Copies of this chain bind each other. A is one copy, B any other.
Amino acid sequence: METFNIYNPVKIHFGAGVIGEAGKIAKKYSDNALIVTGRNSMQKSGTLDRLVKILKNAGVNSIIFDGITPNPTTSEIDSAAGVAREKKVGLVIGLGGGSPLDSAKAVAVAAKGDIPVWNYLKTPAKEALPVITIVSTSGTGSEVNRYSVMTNPETGEKPGFGYECMYPKDAIIDPEIMLSMPAYVTATTGFDVFVHIFESFTGKARNAFSSAYCMQTFYLLKDNLIRAYKEPDNVESRSNMALASALAGLAIDISGVGIMHAMEHPVSGNYPDIAHGAGLAVLAVESMKYNLNACKRDYTLMAHHLGIKRAGKSDDEYAMSLIEKTEEMLTALNLNIRLKDLGVKKDKLPKISGEAFTTMGFAIQNNPETIGEKEVLKILENSY
């Protein structure tokens, strides 16, 4: 019989306008906060200014670190941690998509010690500054879980890590902020949600709790993934995708991910201009084919939850229809692309394949079908 632990202490505040509560929430922890964000979108949409004002009105001073790039590097995180220490902040607020949110958690850990953040891959962190996440995409799920992913700029390695002290205290999920999300970001982060629940629902570490989140997310994606992309101002779809992102984030917090994430991290680690969701889009179909035999029944369940008609299909055909549906989704999202379309050089594939094992070993172990470096390389080649 399965034995497992479940724990997620994040306070989720969900709904249109809840960013307005950020001041009151922040004040519980500190009157001096570091806002960790990216270089563009939160400035352009006015959300950063708005947040600073909301915090100020609650008596919370803001220090802004807006040097986080997509696929954030350890040097960005160490710089931000230095600012946090120097300015003696008592709180880190991550504002934006997965990159600033992941970074905020890593900064909160690194600010407490005086060793480079990379060292925490091997040295478990026992304490961190409190973190609030304010998410602008849907999404990586980073808003509600303990995970952080960072890239070593010297080696291209892009591992994930997460300790109990890294859970955000509060997650502010305001779908109105997401109305300004560009179409490409909507597509790539939305597809990331699909991969989270695919890998959570089929992973070896899944259980009834992670599967509950997955099932609900399949229902939400069915009607909202494409619609949020085609109708960017549809608040209902934005709201449902924000829910889907959070639910999927809770799912992987329990069950972890699989080979798609294991392969994608070294792809975007070596090519930092590639969006995580685009990397996943490229690798999804070949990975699903590889895992088909190990979890055929799960594929039929997922097909069912996604509303794919069964009529007249054999079990095998119905399982396969999940892969066909995935290709359809990718086409509708304009993400039916190849690894070479993303600018990846073919001679990098062996390095990427090797790093899947050295930096994402837990995801390899969690994959439903056993897999070695040769098979990973084959999937990369077939996706090229």
Question: What's the nearest-Cβ distance from chain B to residue A26, in Å?
Answer: 16
Which of A9, A10, A208, A236 has the largest count of B CB atoms less than 10 A from its CB? A208
A18 to B220, CA, bound (A): 35
Among B6, B9, B18, B240, contact of A14 (Cβ-Cβ < 8 Å) = B6
Question: What's the nearest-Cβ distance from chain B to residue A130, in Å?
Answer: 14
Question: What's the nearest-Cβ distance from chain B to residue A25, in Å?
Answer: 11
Q: Which of A137-155 contact B (CB under 8 A)?
A: none
Q: Mark A1-25, 1 if CB is under 8 A from B, else 0.
A: 1111111111111111110000000
Contact between B3 and A12, CB atoms less than 8 A apart: no
Copies in the complex: 2
Question: What's the nearest-Cβ distance from chain B to residue A158, in Å?
Answer: 30
Q: Is A212 close to B, CB under 8 A?
A: yes
A9 to B168, CA, bound (A): 12
Q: Please, which residues of chain B bring their CB within 8 A of the CB of A217? A: 212
Question: What's the nearest-Cβ distance from chain B to residue A138, in Å?
Answer: 13
Q: Is A332 close to B, CB under 8 A?
A: no
Q: Which of A194-252 contact B (CB under 8 A)?
A: 207-209, 211-213, 215-217, 220, 235-236, 239-240, 243, 247
Contact between B9 and A5, CB atoms less than 8 A apart: no
27 A-B pairs in the complex with CB atoms less than 8 angstroms apart: A1-B16, A1-B175, A1-B236, A2-B15, A2-B239, A3-B14, A3-B16, A3-B17, A3-B18, A4-B14, A5-B11, A5-B12, A5-B13, A5-B14, A7-B11, A7-B12, A8-B8, A9-B9, A12-B209, A208-B220, A208-B240, A208-B247, A209-B216, A209-B247, A212-B215, A212-B217, A215-B216
Excluding A1-B236, A7-B9, A208-B220, 11 further A-B contacts by CB distance (< 8 Å) are A1-B15, A1-B235, A3-B18, A4-B15, A5-B12, A5-B14, A6-B14, A12-B209, A208-B243, A212-B217, A215-B215
